[in-house]
């Protein structure tokens, strides 16, 4: 089982109103949040998964709980809070890229504290952390303590997924990501993340610095230009993006992340030792699998992650 840790929320996408009145705004709300998406994505790809998250007892929080139940995500690491559900207002650009505005201060998904840290049994093969839960309090320090406790014992994967709207302090992001990088075995990062974190630095030098710690594999996603893998043992190389009619790119990075973990699980390599033993050909197959999965998500509106059978076509 893989334990995904972090926020769960609703993405609100604006839609045109037939009346044309400025006083009316229509929205389509879709359950999301990067860690939430990864947990759902793992289940759709056939991997047993749980989500360690705070959920609101309000109407939207109960809907999030129902989605997780329907998708088969294990519920024992969910914690209820009498606080609102975070809302992310999403505007989609001409190239399909999303722009977010968050309403999350004091919301349920931020409320996890050290006292909520769960004991983990041997069935938990690894942990995934990422997105703004890494930097908003009190959940940020809670997740850091969990990763520090489990690093070296289980596979740790990290996706910075930088979002400056919920936390605009880029120095805080840099500091926390730098700490987590030293603890992670597998990192997925986008070119946009690196440009926000280190706008004056060569991305490859940043990545090479990260690989000096625990990390065995780092995947750099570059949108329509494909993705590059950096391996401590086998060097770096790239694959092209799959051609697809893009509806939007919401959830593409989360799909890529879930696909990486799912591939490792299918190959029974979802451990610290397993990642260290990967051959170049295996890493190539893993990368292509993740690129294919992300392309399918881009062909649909919102974070509608693919099922395993769709990747056998």
> Distance (Å, rounded) from C-alpha 186 to C-alpha 71?
25
> Is residue 19 predicted with pLDDT exceeding 80?
no
Averaged pLDDT score across all residues of the chain: 93
Ordered alpha helix ranges (H), the chain: 34-44, 59-71, 139-150, 170-181, 191-197, 203-210, 252-266, 272-276, 280-298
Domain ranges of the chain: 2-14+28-312
Residue 312, pLDDT score? 81
The larger pLDDT score, comparing residue 17 to residue 311, is at: 311
Residue 95, pLDDT score? 61
- Buried b / exposed e over 8-37, threshold 16 CB at 10 Å, is bbbbbbeeeeeeeeeeeeeeebbbbbbbbb
Residue 242, pLDDT score? 87
pLDDT in tens, 279-297: 999 999 999 999 999 999 9
Give Cβ neighbours of residue 60 (< 8 Å, ≥ 6 apart).
Answer: 10, 29, 85, 87
What share of the chain in percent tops pLDDT 70? 97
How much is the average pLDDT of 252-274?
97
Residue 96, pLDDT score? 61
pLDDT in tens, 190-246: 999 999 999 999 999 999 999 999 999 999 999 889 999 999 999 999 999 888 887
Tracing tokens 């947990």 back to the chain, one arrives at 39
Residue 313, pLDDT score? 59
Banded pLDDT at 249 (limits 50, 70, 90)? confident
How much is the average pLDDT of 101-127?
96
* Alpha-carbon separation of residue 213 from 4, 155, 198, 199, 272 (angstroms): 22, 14, 18, 22, 13
Banded pLDDT at 14 (limits 50, 70, 90)? confident
> Distance (Å, rounded) from C-alpha 32 to C-alpha 303?
7
pLDDT in tens, 119-141: 999 999 999 999 999 999 999 99
> Is residue 260 predicted with pLDDT exceeding 60?
yes
> Is residue 248 predicted with pLDDT exceeding 90?
no
> Distance (Å, rounded) from C-alpha 128 to C-alpha 209?
21
Banded pLDDT at 94 (limits 50, 70, 90)? low
pTM for the whole thing?
0.94
Residue 301, pLDDT score? 75
- Buried b / exposed e over 196-228, threshold 16 CB at 10 Å, is bbbeeeebeebbeebbeebbbbbbbbebeeebb
For 255, list phi and psi in degrees, rounded to 5: -65, -45
> Distance (Å, rounded) from C-alpha 308 to C-alpha 32?
20
> Is residue 93 predicted with pLDDT exceeding 80?
no
Q: Identify whether the C-beta of residue 183 lies closer than 8 Å to the C-beta of residue 148.
A: yes
**Helix, strand or coil, per DSSP, at residue 302:** coil
Q: 2-14+28-312 has which CATH code?
A: 3.40.1190.20
Q: Is 294 exposed, middle or buried (0-12, 13-18, 19+ CB in 10 A)?
A: buried
Banded pLDDT at 23 (limits 50, 70, 90)? confident
Residue 99, pLDDT score? 74
Residue 148, pLDDT score? 98
Q: Identify whether the C-beta of residue 250 lies closer than 8 Å to the C-beta of residue 261.
A: no
Question: Range with the lowest mean pLDDT among 18-22, 94-98, 208-212?
Answer: 94-98
Tracing tokens 């706008």 back to the chain, one arrives at 199
The larger pLDDT score, comparing residue 16 to residue 221, is at: 221
């Amino acid at each position: 089982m893989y334990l995904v840790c972090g926020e769960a929320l609703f993405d609100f996408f604006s839609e045109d109103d037939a009346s044309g009145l400025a006083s009316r705004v229509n929205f389509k709300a879709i359950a999301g949040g990067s860690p939430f998406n990864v947990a759902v994505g793992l289940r759709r790809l056939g991997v047993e998964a749980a989500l360690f998250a705070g959920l609101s007892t309000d109407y939207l929080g109960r809907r999030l709980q129902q989605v997780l139940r329907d998708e088969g995500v294990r519920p024992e690491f969910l914690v209820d809070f009498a606080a609102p559900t975070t809302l992310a207002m999403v505007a989609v650009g001409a190239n399909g890229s999303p722009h977010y505005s968050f309403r999350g201060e004091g919301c349920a998904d931020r409320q996890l504290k050290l006292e909520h840290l769960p004991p983990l049994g041997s069935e938990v093969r690894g942990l995934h952390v990422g997105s703004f839960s890494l930097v908003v309090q009190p959940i940020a320090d809670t997740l850091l303590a969990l990763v520090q406790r489990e690093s070296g014992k289980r596979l740790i994967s990290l996706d910075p997924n930088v979002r400056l709207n919920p936390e605009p302090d880029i120095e805080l992001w840099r500091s926390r990501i730098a700490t987590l990088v030293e603890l992670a075995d597998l990192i997925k990062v986008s070119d946009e993340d690196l440009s926000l974190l280190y706008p004056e630095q060569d991305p490859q030098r940043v990545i090479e610095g990260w690989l000096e710690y625990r990390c065995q594999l780092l995947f750099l996603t570059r949108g329509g230009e494909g993705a590059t893998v950096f391996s401590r043992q086998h060097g770096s190389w790239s694959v092209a993006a799959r051609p697809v009619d893009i509806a939007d790119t919401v959830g593409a990075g989360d799909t890529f992340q879930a696909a990486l973990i799912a591939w490792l699980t299918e190959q029974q390599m979802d451990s610290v030792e397993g990642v260290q033993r990967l051959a170049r050909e295996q890493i190539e197959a893993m990368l292509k699998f993740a690129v294919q999965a992300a392309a399918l998500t881009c062909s649909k509106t919102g974070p509608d992650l693919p099922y395993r059978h769709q990747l056998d076509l």
